[in-house]
Chains A and B, each alone.
Chain A
Amino acid sequence: MIRNRRGNILTENIIFIVLNLVFIAILMLFLFSKAGNAAVLEEKYAKEIALAIDAAEPAMTIHLNMEDAIEEAENLNLNQIVTIENNIINVKLREKGGYSYSFFNDVKVNVNFDGENKEYYFVIEKND
């Protein structure tokens, strides 16, 4: 009888601990999925690139490691993730979506992708 009771206590405790661990794991997953969300990354990189270009001068090259964004954009053409038209940056990591932000520095920006280092580099030139 005593042996059986001990067995019950152990099982209950294990279930209790497992449930708690599951709960913590779900919370952590939620947290990481929110932080590495494609929409959040799109906004982050669009603004980061815009500010870097605003601070840049012609003849400069800006290197930006976007490994996390590249991993998020699985099915997209890597040359299409970051596009710059006139003075508007668009970062697109999803089929339906994307984030645009403008910069005030009137320069010509060439966007290039370095597949080896998984980084984008932006060549700043004087606008014609």
Chain B
Amino acid sequence: MIKMQGNKKAADKIISVYWFAILFIVAAGIVFMVSSFYGKPYEVREIEVGLLADKGADCVSYAGFLREGVLSQEFKDSFLEICDITFETEDSYGWTDESEYFLQLNFYDFDSYQNTNKNSLFEASAGNQRLQNFCQLKGKGFPVCLERKLYILDKEGKKYVVKINSIVKKIEKNSQ
């Protein structure tokens, strides 16, 4: 009887040691998960790139119609100023050396858009063109790209397809 009691006490101690070992493992797991979650920056580029494309679309069209003066050399030359866009960024991670954004608007004739050899009637772009090279690549650590199409009419009723390409890099502050 005394021997049995001794065995039970020893077993209880072993259980409590195991219990605290389990608690320690659980704690370590939670600490690791929380640290890795909050240690990473918030990824907002998906939203940002969408807003940039919206801004480009609003700049060339209003209520489905082409804005005046869009298909002109002046618009092409001062695209960002006319659209009230600035690509200046904070001076961190060498972001001021090269633009972290790219925005391109391509205008096509609606009727010939389905043709394989379609030619752009008008093109306006600004920002870092080199970012386009990364759009085919998938995974973390690459710029976020978005391509949108917009159908608009001019005053004479001519139909256009506008292809908007917007890209945001800002990798260091969004993806790690």
Binding site for B on A (CB under 8 A): 12, 16, 20, 23, 26-27, 30-31, 34-35, 37, 40, 43-44, 47, 50-51, 54-55, 86-88, 100-102, 104-107, 126-127
Contact = CB atoms under 8 A, between A and B. Distances in A.
Contact of A30 (B31, B54, B86, B89): B31
18 contacts: A20-B23, A23-B23, A26-B27, A34-B35, A34-B38, A35-B38, A44-B42, A50-B44, A50-B48, A51-B47, A51-B48, A54-B48, A86-B88, A88-B88, A102-B90, A105-B84, A106-B84, A106-B85
A55 B51 contact: yes
Contact of A16 (B16, B47, B48, B55): B16
A102 to B, nearest CB: 4
Interface of B: 12, 16, 23, 27, 30-31, 34-35, 38, 41-42, 44, 47-48, 51-52, 54-55, 80-81, 84-90, 92, 101, 173
Contacts of B101: 104
Contact of A34 (B27, B34, B55): B34
Contacts, number: 70
A83 to B, nearest CB: 12
Q: Secondary structure at chain A's binding surface: helix, strand, loop or mixed? A: helix
Contacts of B27: 23, 26-27
A23 B47 CA distance: 40
Most buried by A among B31, B85, B86: B86
A47 B42 contact: yes
Contacts of A55: 51, 54
Nearest to A56: B51
B51 A51 contact: yes
B51 A54 contact: yes
A34 B80 CA distance: 40
Contacts of A105: 55, 84-86
